[in-house]
Chain A
């Protein structure tokens, strides 16, 4: 077990955790009651994935840190999530554009990881495959409705896709080749065409255009984030940190 292995798992854990944290914002704010329920479901799935992945990363690291140590007592520079998930998402079109991309990526990723040579990772992924299939479907339904709904919704959906697009490429950032060779990690060069193909087909069906936009500067996997992550963590962590050593 190498640190690269722990870091890889930690990256996936942080993606799920930060995404869940953003999703939680919608509960009581969704466009209709059914959607409060659906977005809570999705956030809960992501949080569940984050918890098992964090626990696993902690055990790979071997320093006795559990899920809450890792979630609440690391600083911005130690978080390993992609920037896609950390930016605010208080616009419903942005949430759906992002979920479409993120869940499709997770679906392809977990399908591979379900056969990982790391049995814990394979177990988590095997369970999560079914969850994210629902997330993809949910996002797809909304992207279709909004893209092919009213003029206003079409415009808003396209603006949202354009805003998310530069952050898509980071999902396919390089992974330690040894991890791929050992059958632990998924090969991003295999994931990329599968994910972009699926997302592109949904956008087309929704009468939306696949943007041609340069990728944003990556860095999330090395702990170089947007300015938004600090605020997200400040809010998430403050109570825990105000009572070090307490249990809840």
Chain B
């Protein structure tokens, strides 16, 4: 149970997907032990398949729900260059959704069913997208911190055991690192701009820092499915290790930005070779996962409305395709 997209989202008290370890085919074991890639044609244990479907679907859902907080600023971007970069970024996230739904479909499910599960609340998306984007600087903070956290989590997934997922992650990670650089650059410009711009940047970092740390999920001792996912090669590092890696990356970058991270306990620990940092308030995370975050209702309503408003369009496309196929001379493939 972890929390960055690319992981499994379950609140305490919910039943996690229950993995079984007994009836795994020999060939599958051998592949995992040899660090080989599992492909759709291979004989996959049911629990592995179910866990992957859930993880990839929730990752896909996160990409498309993640379009909303940034889509919120496309119409208001303060320069045409920034507008173009932001439109392209949100478009990339739609593309990530497409790659990931396609990866999930290799496991024998289809996108329409997965979307229904998102819309009915049976499958989750990353909680970070339940926070509002209140100012332009949030475009910077999201790119720098949220895409940054996504990269820390997803780079190891480029080596995950399931081939289609690993390959999707390679494409996604390339684009995420652009996004992170662009976010950093937005904040850098603001931080070196007028006093009002600098204050806007600091405020955005203050609001997005802790939720970004929560993206890595609960502490390791409280993450029951992690061990199984690691054994299956669909998770490579623990939540706390990834969180530490993220903090170590962010601290010097914050200095370069001239911005302060809102945690007085951050300091370099010579013995550990890492930065110490304050305790994350996981009760907030669990509240947001349960649906009580600042924007849960809006994000779901927006998504469901888009889907329902588009139903007549999808029906028309199907009807047209059927008519075309039925026409004399149509290619019967």
Residues of chain A having any CB pair with chain B under 8 Å: 17, 21, 24-25, 27-37, 40-41, 43-44, 47-48, 50-51, 54, 67-68, 71-72, 92, 144-146, 148-150, 152-153, 156, 235-236, 238-240, 243, 245-248
Contact = CB atoms under 8 A, between A and B. Distances in A.
Nearest to B192: A247
Interface string B70-90: 010011111111111001101
Contact of B317 (A30, A43, A51, A149): A149
A27 B67 contact: yes
A44 B319 contact: no
B98 A92 contact: no
Contact of B98 (A30, A37, A48, A50): A37
A33 B310 contact: no
B302 A235 contact: no
5 smallest beta-carbon distances between A and B, as pairs: A31-B310, A149-B316, A153-B316, A40-B91, A31-B313
A27, A71, A238 interface centre (most CB from chain B within 10 Å): A27
A152 B310 contact: no
B306 A153 contact: no
Interface string B54-82: 00000000001001100100111111111
Contact of B80 (A32, A67, A144): A67
Interface in B307-322: 309-321
B64, B75, B316 interface centre (most CB from chain A within 10 Å): B316
A47 B317 contact: no
A47 B285 CA distance: 39
How extensive is the interface on chain B, given as a class? 35 or more
A41 B91 CA distance: 8
10 contacts: A31-B310, A40-B88, A41-B91, A48-B84, A145-B320, A146-B320, A148-B323, A150-B316, A235-B75, A247-B189
A42 B230 CA distance: 42
A146 B313 contact: yes
A155 B76 CA distance: 34
Contacts of B117: none
A148 B320 contact: yes
Interface string B87-121: 11011001101100100000000000000000000
Given A40-B87, A40-B88, A33 B98 contact: yes
Interface stretch (B193-201, B210-218, B264-272): B193-201
B48 interface: no
A27 B91 contact: yes
B194 A146 contact: no
Interface string B213-243: 0000000000000000000000000000000
A149 B320 contact: yes
B5 interface: no
